[in-house]
Amino acid sequence: MSTILNYTLYLALLVHTGLLAVVLWRVWFGENVIDRLTGAELLSTLTLAILVLLALVERDSMFIDVALGLAAVGFIGIIALAKYLADEQMY
Amino acid sequence: MEFVLQLIAILAVALGTFLSTLGVLGYIRLPDVYTRLHAVGKVGVFGVVGLLVGAVVWTPLGVGKGIVLIAFLLLAGPVTAHSLASAAYRIGIVPVGLIRDDLTRDLEAQPALSASQTSQPPDPAA
């Protein structure tokens, strides 16, 4: 059972890395600014997923701490950029 | 007990990966900023939370941190999607196949509701 879990985790890591590459390509050739910002949020979320998968592979909960910091920073950044685009000012 | 926890972790990781793939497929294929935001929200709320359920049951000492991160994601995902959709509407991106627009009517009836009304961009001709 443990080997099946390891194979599932390595397959999930491979799939998420492929999804990161596809989303990066889509952000590079995006249509408008909100489309690219959505893609940047998706990149942040997929990096979060890779960190959680690393925590599962290594059986080490330190990676979940890193994922928590990344989630907070990405949330604040996306909110600030969306407000800047909508109102042409930060505050 | 070990067997059951491993089985739950395998199922949660497989379901989360499948839903993330569906969300990215929607981000590539859907025609519009607003529908793409709908697909991207699924990755943050269902895909990563599925992986985190696996991490909560299988990673040692990961229970508290995992539950905190799940709660944060469930709060932050809808807020992010709402702010991005609001910004897209206010900079003038029209949804595909729009047949009725109540928000523009309300903003014209009550200009105080519009946030960008108070901060007009500087006139380049002046």
Q: Is the pLDDT of residue A2 over 60?
A: yes
CA atoms within 13 A on the CB side of B43: 31
Query: SS in 3 state form for B54-78?
Result: HHHHHCCCCHHHHHHHHHHHHHHHH
Q: The dihedral of CA A19, A24, A29, A35: what is its sign?
A: positive
Residue B75 inside a domain? The answer is yes
Residues of chain A contacting B62 with CB distance shorter than 8 Å = 55, 61, 64
The complex scores an ipTM of 0.89
Domain count, chain B: 1
B126 band by pLDDT with thresholds 50, 70 and 90: very low
Task: Tell me the residue range of the domain where A75 lies.
Answer: 2-87
* Region of poorest pLDDT, from A50-59, B4-13, B58-67, B109-118: B109-118
Task: Tell me the residue range of the domain where B45 lies.
Answer: 2-113
Choice between B6 and B103, residue whose per-residue pLDDT is larger: B6
> Å from B106 to nearest chain A CA?
18
Amino acid at B57: V
- Do A65 and B65 count as a contact with CB atoms less than 8 A apart? yes
Among A33, A35, A56, beta carbon nearest to B55: A56
| Cα B120 off chain centre by | 29
Domain count, chain A: 1
Residues of chain B contacting A49 with CB distance shorter than 8 Å = 16, 20, 43, 47-48, 51
In angstroms, rounded to a whole number, what is the distance separating the alpha carbons of residues A29 and B22?
20
Among B33, B62, B80, beta carbon nearest to A78: B80
